[in-house]
Amino acid sequence: MASGRAGNPPLPGLRTARTPVAHRPVPPDQDEDAVLRAMQAGGGLRLLGLRIVIVLVLLMAAQAYDGSLHALSHWFILALYGLGTVWFGLRERGGGPAASAYSWAGTGLNAGLAVYVLIEHMLAGGGAGLGADAVSRLPAFLLLLQTGLSMRVAQTVVFCGVVIACWSATFLIGLLHPDLFPNEETFPTAQLTGLATFAAAGLLVVDGVVRLRAAVARALRMEHERTLLARFVPDAVALDLSAEGGDSALGVHRRHACLMILDIRGFSRLSGEHPPETMVLALLAVRAAAQAAVAEAGGLVDKYIGDAVLVQFVVGSPDAQARAALACALSLRRRIAALNAARAAEGLFTLRVVVALHAGDLLVGVFDDGVRAEYTVLGPAMNALSRIEAQAKAAELELAASGDFVDLLRGALPEGIRAVPVPGAVLPEPLTLFAVAGEPDPDPALPRMRIPASGPSAPAQG
């Protein structure tokens, strides 16, 4: 069966450059402040408490090391740092335009203290003992952790850069002028080990912050898009679409979909023969039948276009979409038959419908021009579907499908159902048309699903 997936031309690349609309909201994953607020939400008091805990740890560590080695200026500097970091933390927690400036000031304060303690220890005898070395480096690692928990990548990188640069410079001075630093035998090894350890820890912290921010940004994008989609589609479809990567600037996704269109035959003629109220009731009955069949099969009514119903199946693998779409079409046929039986019993005119099925890659999502948002699908497959429907009408088919759709079923048609090529269908290459027939008609009074004979198709009617 040669239908060829080439029946659907490739989708053009998404153009992310659009004329900006002044009131278009910025997607939360592209708003740095939104990402930062989400990561810091609920942690304001805890982060402030962490600052206080770190100050206390530094004070206890310095005393445990040997308070007698520290001049009064050391304790004065620690006290100033404690007051400064708590004050900066409170100002930053207050928010406002100056919050970022206070955060940067706090980062500078952290880096300054870390460098001060490291250099002071090196001048006092760096490398004299593992315990003393560990205590002197503790502030650098604790303050690295505190800066990383701010979730600001740039500030974490700056903190690491300042500490590593100052530590490296002091280390080089010690190598060039060993007389300036005691314990010159153990000094190089001890400082080089500590510097390498801090650099590795800094890389890990920066990488962790970057990964965490990316994860939060993705979560925000998914939630934003799910909320937007939930206005138009069921939650299952919204979750499925928002979970995959897409163009977050446009809010659309490249997605394979199976499409179905239902059209009432001769609706214009019937409208001229019956009162408008009667036609409205008939149209609503068909729409209700279509909605029930679509919901049962897990599809989605894209839109109502006059007396036509456009349906899409976008969840699941392409073959699963095709099976669901075919099941929907067969269910719809049974429901229309039951509707006609009820209408005939009431002495009302019966309705004839044509259903066309197609499959292909589309752009799926909420198309928002800044004034009006609409969920729909776009792409060459939509244009092909209208041609397939027109040819199904011309061939007097009740249920038709394209070769692309039939190929997805891989010969696994339901029992008693056949897909037969329609000769003479006027479609652009390489699209082909198939009549789907063979199921026993639910109402013997209705015409059976016919398989067209060979020869050119008749002009479209209705």
The C-alpha atoms of residue 350 and residue 359 are separated, in whole angstroms, by 30
For the cut 80, the answer to whether the pLDDT of residue 272 exceeds it is: yes
| Contact between 136 and 167 (Cβ < 8 Å) | no
The C-alpha atoms of residue 292 and residue 261 are separated, in whole angstroms, by 15
Place of tokens 């109220």: 277
Place of tokens 């909320």: 227
For 9, phi then psi, to 5°, come to: -60, 150
Q: Which of 4-18, 118-132, 171-185, 256-270 has the highest mean pLDDT?
A: 256-270
pLDDT band at 298 (very low <50, low <70, confident <90, very high): confident
For the cut 90, the answer to whether the pLDDT of residue 404 exceeds it is: yes
C-alpha count within 13 angstroms, C-beta hemisphere, residue 205? 28
pLDDT in tens, 196-245: 999 999 999 999 989 888 877 777 766 666 665 555 555 565 555 555 65
Residue among 329, 319, 313, 323 nearest 241 (CA): 313
Count how many residues are written for the chain. 462
| Contact between 232 and 375 (Cβ < 8 Å) | yes
For the cut 80, the answer to whether the pLDDT of residue 337 exceeds it is: yes
Quote the mean pLDDT of the chain: 76
Alpha carbon 428 to its chain centroid, in Å, reads 35
- pTM beyond 0.85, yes or no: no
Give the pLDDT score at 294: 93
One-letter amino acid at 292 equals A
Check residues 331 and 441 and name the one with the higher pLDDT.
Answer: 331
Alpha carbon 354 to its chain centroid, in Å, reads 36
Check residues 127 and 291 and name the one with the higher pLDDT.
Answer: 291
Of the listed ranges 66-70, 85-89, 124-128, 381-385, the one predicted with least confidence: 66-70
How many other CB atoms sit within 10 Å of the CB of residue 287? 15
Residue among 98, 126, 114, 100 nearest 164 (CA): 114
Residue among 409, 357, 411 nearest 381 (CA): 357
SS3 content of the chain, % helix, strand, coil (to 5): 60, 15, 30
| Contact between 391 and 427 (Cβ < 8 Å) | yes
pLDDT in tens, 55-105: 777 666 666 554 445 555 666 777 777 777 777 777 776 666 777 888 888
The C-alpha atoms of residue 121 and residue 124 are separated, in whole angstroms, by 5
Alpha carbon 242 to its chain centroid, in Å, reads 4
pLDDT band at 20 (very low <50, low <70, confident <90, very high): very low
SS3 call for 186? coil
- H or E, element range at 144: helix 130-149
Q: Which residues of 225-258 are buried (b: 16+ CB within 10 A; e: fewer)?
A: bbebbeebbeeebbbbbbeeebebebbbbbbbbb
The C-alpha atoms of residue 58 and residue 86 are separated, in whole angstroms, by 14
How many other CB atoms sit within 10 Å of the CB of residue 423? 14
**DSSP conformational letter for 247:** B
| Contact between 110 and 143 (Cβ < 8 Å) | yes
The C-alpha atoms of residue 172 and residue 166 are separated, in whole angstroms, by 10
Cis peptide before 430 (omega within 30 of 0): yes
The C-alpha atoms of residue 415 and residue 447 are separated, in whole angstroms, by 21
For the cut 90, the answer to whether the pLDDT of residue 286 exceeds it is: yes
**For 408-436, what is the mean pLDDT?**
86
Neighbour-count burial of 178, counting CB atoms closer than 10 A to its CB (0-12 exposed, 13-18 middle, 19+ buried): middle
